[in-house]
Structure 1
């Protein structure tokens, strides 16, 4: 490869911070999903808590995407 891919190019410190923030959020989500395989769902409250956790995680990714798209 003669040059870096387009997704690796950064033009400002804010853009770099945003990309690092996305990476951190993705790592946290992957770790959460790995640990969720060990959770036993015994009651409806457990299932509700698990569902809320997944919803909040996907909502945070969506909000990060919208905020990043608005800066471009």
Structure 2
């Protein structure tokens, strides 16, 4: 009886281990694939694109409302 339970536990561990390895491999391939699709590394962004992405933190109306409701 104990041998049967050990084989079931071992089987579950193998299944989970293989699943984690598969997920890790898929994540790695996804990261490598998206890194290759970025473009030329020496290409500089235009000034208009730089100002659009470098806005930083902006306090909008919904953020101000959240801050008001979060006060005690």
Alignment TM-score, normalising by the size of structure 2? 0.41
Larger helix fraction of residues: 1
Bigger RCO of structures 1 and 2 (CA < 8 A, at least 6 apart)? 1
